[in-house]
Amino acid sequence: TKLNSLSSGVAAGYGALVVADISGNVYLLDQDNGSVIWKINVKGEVLATAAIDTKFVVIKTGSGELLALDKSSGEISWSYRSKLPALTIRGSSSPVIEGDIVYATFDNGRLGVFELDSGFPVWDGAISYAKGSSELENLVDSDSNPVIDAGLVYTINYQGNLSLFDTSQKRAVWQTEA
């Protein structure tokens, strides 16, 4: 399938492929034949791979917006916009769906946890805090995907701060500089 210049990786699952182009268009393609099922412009560049569920496609834009798109129509079901710091790195982490929960890390150095169906914020936590005197020292972007395993969420940010969150306690339980 011929598309414009792509900006995101290819996500695959549940019979669908999802990609985004540099103009902010998100495409859902049939995994078997490559035909475009729907296209929507999300008014922001999508740099990260989408997360796909049976009902939703969850994407994150470079401007810090997390969007859940209806998998059958492409309509926006819910959105969340994080507060961006003054300086960020050009990059973005992919959201991760685990059960009925969406995990996403943001450029403000935080992990956000949301209900998949409603977008309701369940909890969030700081991966690290800005502590320098310059904007470069204060970069806290988390451009790597959260990793979920056995009720724990592993996150890391630009400055190398590794944080481990417990999903049952809904808080960070361990942090170190990597």
Distance of CA 20 to the CA centre of its chain: 14
In whole angstroms, what is the distance from residue 45 CA to residue 22 CA?
6
The three-class DSSP label of residue 18 is strand
Q: What is the pLDDT of residue 109?
A: 84
Q: Is residue 75 predicted with pLDDT exceeding 80? A: yes
Handedness of CA 39, 42, 47, 51 (dihedral sign): negative
Residue in the structure block whose two tokens are 């929507």: 40
Q: Is residue 90 predicted with pLDDT exceeding 90? A: no
Q: Which of 1-5, 98-102, 125-129, 153-157 has maximum average pLDDT?
A: 98-102
pTM: 0.92
Tokens linked to 120: 């309701």
pLDDT digits (tens, 9 = 90+) for 130-144: 777 777 776 777 778
pLDDT grade for 88, boundaries at 50, 70 and 90:
low
pLDDT grade for 68, boundaries at 50, 70 and 90:
very high
The three-class DSSP label of residue 127 is coil
Q: What is the pLDDT of residue 85?
A: 67
